[in-house]
Chains A and B, each alone.
Chain A
Amino acid sequence: MSEETTQYKKPLPRPPEPELTAPFWEAAKRHELILPHCTQCDKFFWYPREACPRCLQSDWSWVAASGKARLHTYTVVRQPANPAFAEDVPYAFAVIQLAEDVRMMSNIVECAIPEDLEVNMPLEVVFDDIDNDWTLVKFRPASEN
């Protein structure tokens, strides 16, 4: 395969604060899912930011997540905002409810869309190595979890 055909044309993650979220992306490259966990509140939060959105204190740490999740809701994209996704339609743009009680946006992969999708279905994390530098966190159907 030539370099041109393997080049990833979709948008890469562009962090506004790269140093803040670097541990998350480095963990994803190792195929590990980690989340910000507030020591004060003893709760996870998402997205990562300097201060915990519950108590506004900054003493939080990265903690490994289970990778277990449920499909909170989804929409099937027929007409993407960015034409780089045109060859993927129909695909699922979804809100993922993680077992750690936080929600993130992602895609549901490795299933028929829309036939296999159902709100509240169990999911598990998968890691999509989109190029040498970036790995996206995605989800696929799982047996009951």
Chain B
Amino acid sequence: MSIRGKAAIVGFYEVPTRKEMPDRTTFGLLAEVARGAILDAGLKKDDIDGLITPEQFNSLTVAEALGLQPRFNVSMTTHGASGATSIATAAEAIAAGVVDYVLCVFGESRPRSSSRLRSVAEARDSLPPRSRTTEWEVPYGPVIAMNGWYGLMKQRHMFEYGTTQEQFAKMVVDQRFNASKNVNAVWYEEPVTMDDVLNSRFTNDPLHLLESVMPCSGAHAVIVTSAERAKALPNPPAYILGVGGPATRHDIIWHDEDMTTTPVVDSAPTALQMAEININEVDLAQFYDCYTILAMACLEDAGIVQKGEIGPFYQDTDTTFNGTFPINTDGGQIGAGQTGGTGGGFRHVVEATRQVMGRGGIRQASKTDICMVNG
């Protein structure tokens, strides 16, 4: 069954993404963006009968904190892809007629201290549960967070396709320009040059610091409803035309037969087929960008360019909101920050909605009829 055009995003809200918000609580942020999105959609709180939350915060717990009584409750489990897949889940439930107004809410006020282990003693005393990782990876000294995996992926992409450091850096420059015009971005009014990126230290070669996201506090929310109900509401609806796809098995990236190819090779054709559009009809893209390499490989796999051609594409294309093919027009996660509570991937949904509704303000791209979002 196709859900083409049966559901639409009708309201959104976000708070500025900042490195720390020591005076804010996670549930306080979620409540603020929930209220903002409900008001933006022209709805009342009691209209909300569906709730989708990140895996970190059980939807029943969030519902209790926000005083909601949803009959449709989901906490996403697809890690970074949770934000984008929450929209697919909401649209599917709405198309099936089991729920009317779904609130998707993501975000977190991150704890002030990082989770990084600071001493040998602390590392020894805080052993993670035994897993294939503790047997086959941990003894060899992995890198912090996902830096290691994406360093491995970037190295391999450079080997297979000749992608250059300058081409990766160009993506960062374009997105930091976009972020510099976004008051909600952590890097508002702080653009960077190619040299800034290339001279930033390697977190782990060949990955530069400025090619990675900054974990941040913040929150974002949208309301999804049926196309029929959307017509009665104040905002121009952002219709969901097609969805699809498996998520990256990133726990074991070294297993994948082809480390530089992502599950987008499956998800993009599925979504395009459901939407009944050709990739050439896509006007702009909001793609998950925890690191340059992931967004670049996914853009290739979506068919925006041929496999291996994303480096030359970035080199030759203005991808800012002023450009010929705008990408991550709010700055993406690299420019605007990776909101905790898997809110990083959700910002792509919010910015896609903003652009399609024509509410991008100074960042409004010229043609935004069809936006492709990847989580």
Query: A residues touching B (Cβ–Cβ < 8 Å)?
Result: 9-16, 21, 47, 72-85, 88, 90-91, 93-95, 103-107, 114, 119-120, 136
Contacts and interface: CB of A to CB of B under 8 A. Distances in A.
A16 B135 contact: yes
A79 to B, nearest CB: 6
Q: Which of A10, A12, A75 has the most CB of B within 10 A?
A: A75
A83 B156 contact: no
Given A76-B202, A78-B202, A78-B204, A91 B139 contact: no
Contacts of A21: 135
B140 A84 contact: no
A73 B152 contact: yes
Given A75-B206, A78-B205, A136 B140 contact: yes
A17 to B, nearest CB: 9
Contact of A75 (B117, B159, B204, B255): B204
Contacts of B206: 75
Contacts of B205: 75-76, 78, 90, 114
Interface stretch (B77-85, B141-149, B275-283): B141-149
Interface of B: 116-120, 123-124, 127, 130-132, 134-145, 147-148, 151-153, 155-156, 158-159, 201-207, 254-255, 259
B137 A72 contact: no
Contacts of A119: 155-156, 158-159
B259 A93 contact: no
B143 A93 contact: yes
A14 B148 CA distance: 20
Contacts of B139: 10-13, 136
B127 to A, nearest CB: 7
Nearest to B254: A95
A106 B134 contact: no
A79 B155 contact: no
Contacts, number: 129
A80 to B, nearest CB: 5
Contacts of A72: 156, 254, 259
B119 A83 contact: yes
A16 B131 contact: yes
Contacts of B254: 72, 95, 103-105
Given A75-B206, A95-B254, 17 more contacts: A9-B120, A13-B134, A14-B138, A47-B135, A72-B156, A72-B254, A73-B153, A75-B143, A75-B147, A75-B205, A76-B204, A78-B201, A81-B144, A83-B123, A85-B141, A105-B136, A119-B158
A88 B206 CA distance: 18
Contacts of B201: 78
Contact of B152 (A13, A74, A84, A136): A74
A46 B137 CA distance: 13
B75 to A, nearest CB: 25
Q: Which of A11, A80, A94, A136 has the most CB of B within 10 A?
A: A11
B130 to A, nearest CB: 4
